[in-house]
Amino acid sequence: MQSEQKAIERLEVRDHVRAILRLVGEDPDRDGLKRTPDRVEKAYRYLTKGYEQDAAAVLSGAIFESDYDEMVIVRDIDFYSLCEHHLLPFYGKCHVAYLPNRKIVGLSKIPRLVEVFSRRLQVQERLTTQIARVIDEKLKPKGVGVVMEANHLCVMMRGVEKQNAYMITSSMLGRFRSDQKTREEFMGLLRRNKAI
């Protein structure tokens, strides 16, 4: 029954894309556009697959006991998302740090978490805080810091059309918020060139 409902929803999306093509003055039946409704539906399904994923579950299977208590940073995580205001892409780098409190998480899980939240309709500010909050809830670390840098096509292609403007957001929890030295260490390590 659920797969039948999904098939109906996919057809509806395709019908709406055909209608949009007509409304902007195009012929949805011309060669270049005949399969566009199908391609757009598949693309949007992929670009919003994060709605069908449980962000907390991504971390759950890979949390390990550890005595390590220094900062852990995963930087330069590429991400792509869709702006909820214009349905245009924004993309960039995400940097995540945490101070373990007897627990660490498998390295690949942090980029997977970024992927889950970025594959939803978003604003960068919410995306940044969602990532930090899930890490904080699941690991209970001494602190979490998330910094995101992104280019937004809604700024680059329309409106003010500023190609070099990009946005930086941060979410600091625990010691990253309360301890200036911890925050400065994180930001200083982000400014460094890659070690490898």
pLDDT at 195 (0 to 100): 57
Provide the token pair at 73: 């940073």
Residue 21 has pLDDT above 70, yes or no: yes
- In the sheet with 89-99, reading across from the earlier edge strand, the strands are 121-122, 72-83, 89-99, 143-152, 167-174
Residue 4 has pLDDT above 70, yes or no: yes
Q: Mark whether 86 is an active-site residue.
A: yes
Which of 95, 122, 152, 185 is an active site residue? 152
Q: Mark whether 94 is an active-site residue.
A: no
Mean pLDDT of 29-42: 97
Q: Alpha-carbon Rg of the chain, whole angstroms?
A: 20
Q: Mark whether 85 is an active-site residue.
A: yes
Count the alpha carbons within 13 Å of 90 in the hemisphere toward its beta carbon. Answer: 27
Indicate the pLDDT class of residue 67, thresholds 50, 70 and 90: very high
* Mean pLDDT over the full length of the chain: 95
**Distance set, CA 112 to CA 79, 140, 146, 167, 175 (Å):** 10, 19, 14, 22, 24
pLDDT at 3 (0 to 100): 85
Q: Mark whether 16 is an active-site residue.
A: no
Yes or no: say if 63 and 103 are a contact pair by the CB < 8 Å rule: yes
pLDDT at 142 (0 to 100): 98
Which of 85, 137, 180, 184 is an active site residue? 85
Evaluate the CA torsion angle 163, 145, 177, 119 in order and state its sign: positive
Q: Which domains does the chain have, with CATH numbers?
A: 2-47 (1.10.286.10), 55-191 (3.30.1130.10)
